[in-house]
């Protein structure tokens, strides 16, 4: 019995395959070969030339460069709009807007004075390590901001002045500097995180500072909400620079190794994030520089020579001053107890 059954099974299998096989090729053939049909053009004008292409078209390439498998990417149009208009509006608009707001504020408030006048006794605010970290970051940030602005605005603003050849030299130099200076920036960023993160953790007292806008608009008083080493405004600057700086560094390094981790769509998004963060940080740093220099009497000394006047410390950072007093960092005063 057994020997006769096996061929029958095999026969059935063959028959089944044949039935499937007969149907499948005819179906596939219909799609593989286009033949003239009812939709065929009857005149030359009916043959389409311009076929709308709104989606990314991705195929396969046999060359090593796999990013070239993208045949058409209409998203380039949005990136072009970003690069040639939106980016310039964001950076220029925020920077000029911030400067205008500060100019108006300066006219209204002037330099914020130390109400009690200078006491003449100095309190240690930032030691050499604090200042080294700050100025490493500050110099590298300003260098990158300047070189970035040269590359962004150079074509409409500098080429008409200095010509194409000189601008190419400047742009190439700016590009290299922008890349290299990112290293000290990140070193400074890591240092300030290690040094100041603990003092910048938001606390309850920050609410009071935010509600009263830090006393910035109370012209007459000399009223300052109580604050520790850093007030809410300084914490805001700290976190903007730390988080923004991390974002800028991450996107920046990804752009130095283009297409290493993402395709063209990802690279375009990375560019946009880098640009938006740059616009925000440049504006924030303009505000930071204002209040640290002409905006407030005695503020620059903190980062300039590391010490502040006792009265400045009492007015702006009473809680921190008391700590410094206990630690014996106030010149000419013995630690309590």
Partner 1 sequence: MARMKFLCDAERCIECNACVTACKNEHEVPWGINRRRLVTLNDGKPGERSISMACMHCNDPPCAAVCPVDCFLQTADGVVLHSKDLCIGCGYCFYACPFGAPQYPRTTDFGSRGKMDKCTFCAGGPEPDGSVEEYQKYGANRLAEGKLPLCAEMCSTRALMGGDGAVLADIYQERSLRRGYGSGAPGWSTAYGRNDRGSPFAPGGPGTGMAGTGGA
Measured from the CB atom, is 3 or 52 closer to partner 1? Answer: 52
Indicate whether 53 belongs to the interface with partner 1 (CB under 8 A): yes
CA atoms of 143 and 137, how far apart (whole Å): 10
Query: Smallest distance from the beta carbon of 77 to partner 1, in angstroms?
Result: 7
Applying CB under 8 A, among 141, 167, 185, 209 the residue interacting with partner 1 is 167
CA atoms of 316 and 261, how far apart (whole Å): 47
Residue carrying structure tokens 């009497």? 297
Indicate whether 152 belongs to the interface with partner 1 (CB under 8 A): yes
Residue carrying structure tokens 């110099």? 139
Indicate whether 166 belongs to the interface with partner 1 (CB under 8 A): no
Measured from the CB atom, is 134 or 178 closer to partner 1? Answer: 178
Burial 168-186 (b: 16+ CB within 10 A, else e): eebbeebeebbeebbebbb
Measured from the CB atom, is 27 or 128 closer to partner 1? Answer: 27
Query: Smallest distance from the beta carbon of 35 to partner 1, in angstroms?
Result: 7
> Would you say 212 and 227 are in contact if contact means Cβ atoms under 8 Å apart?
no
CA atoms of 250 and 234, how far apart (whole Å): 24
Query: Smallest distance from the beta carbon of 93 to partner 1, in angstroms?
Result: 13
Measured from the CB atom, is 243 or 260 closer to partner 1? Answer: 260
Indicate whether 95 belongs to the interface with partner 1 (CB under 8 A): no
CA atoms of 214 and 315, how far apart (whole Å): 11
Is 113 in a helix, a strand, or coil?
Answer: coil
CA atoms of 231 and 203, how far apart (whole Å): 10
Measured from the CB atom, is 7 or 37 closer to partner 1? Answer: 37
Query: Smallest distance from the beta carbon of 159 to partner 1, in angstroms?
Result: 6
> Would you say 188 and 180 are in contact if contact means Cβ atoms under 8 Å apart?
no
Applying CB under 8 A, among 168, 202, 211, 261 the residue interacting with partner 1 is 168
Indicate whether 161 belongs to the interface with partner 1 (CB under 8 A): no
Direct distance between the N- and C-terminal alpha carbons of the chain, in angstroms, rounded to an integer:
110
Indicate whether 25 belongs to the interface with partner 1 (CB under 8 A): no
Applying CB under 8 A, among 202, 258, 328, 335 the residue interacting with partner 1 is 258
User: Quick one: which segment of 4-12, 18-26, 43-51, 296-304 binds partner 1 (CB under 8 A)?
Assistant: 43-51
CA atoms of 164 and 154, how far apart (whole Å): 10
Angle at 284 between CA 283 and CA 287, to 5 degrees: 90
Query: Smallest distance from the beta carbon of 91 to partner 1, in angstroms?
Result: 13
Sign of the alpha-carbon torsion through 246, 251, 256, 257: positive
In the complex, the residues that contact partner 1 under the rule CB under 8 A are 28, 31-32, 34-37, 39-53, 57, 59-65, 67-74, 76-77, 79-81, 83-85, 88, 151-152, 154-156, 159, 164-165, 167-168, 171-172, 175, 256-258, 260, 264, 267-268, 271
């Amino acid at each position: 019995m057994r020997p006769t059954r096996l061929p029958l099974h095999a026969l059935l299998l063959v028959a089944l395959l044949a039935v499937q096989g007969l149907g499948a090729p005819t179906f596939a053939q219909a799609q593989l070969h286009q033949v003239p049909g009812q939709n065929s053009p009857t005149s030359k004008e009916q043959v389409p030339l311009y076929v709308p292409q709104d989606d990314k078209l991705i195929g396969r390439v046999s060359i090593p460069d796999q990013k070239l498998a993208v045949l058409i990417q209409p998203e380039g149009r949005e990136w072009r709009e970003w690069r040639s208009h939106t980016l310039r509006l964001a950076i220029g608009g925020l920077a000029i807007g911030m400067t205008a707001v500060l100019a108006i504020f300066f006219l209204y408030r002037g330099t914020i004075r130390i109400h009690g006048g200078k006491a003449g006794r100095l309190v240690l605010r930032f030691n050499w390590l604090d200042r080294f970290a700050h100025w490493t970051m500050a110099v590298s940030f300003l260098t990158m901001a300047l070189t970035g602005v040269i590359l962004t605005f150079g074509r409409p603003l500098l080429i008409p002045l200095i010509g194409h050849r000189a601008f190419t030299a400047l742009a190439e130099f700016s590009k290299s500097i922008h890349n290299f200076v990112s290293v000290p920036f990140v070193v400074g960023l890591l240092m300030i995180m290690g040094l100041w993160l603990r003092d910048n953790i938001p606390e309850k007292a920050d609410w009071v500072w935010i509600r009263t806008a830090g006393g910035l608009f109370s012209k007459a008083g000399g009223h300052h909400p109580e604050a520790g080493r850093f007030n809410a405004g300084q914490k805001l600057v700290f976190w903007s620079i730390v988080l923004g700086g991390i974002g800028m560094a991450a996107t920046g390094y990804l752009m130095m190794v283009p297409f290493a981790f993402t395709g063209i769509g990802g690279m375009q998004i990375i560019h946009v994030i880098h640009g938006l963060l740059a616009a925000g940080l440049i504006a924030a740093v303009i505000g930071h520089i204002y209040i640290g220099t002409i905006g407030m009497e005695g503020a620059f000394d903190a980062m300039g020579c590391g010490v502040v006047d006792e009265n400045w410390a009492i007015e702006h950072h009473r809680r921190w001053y008391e700590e410094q007093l206990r630690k014996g960092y106030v010149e000419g005063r013995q630690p309590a107890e």
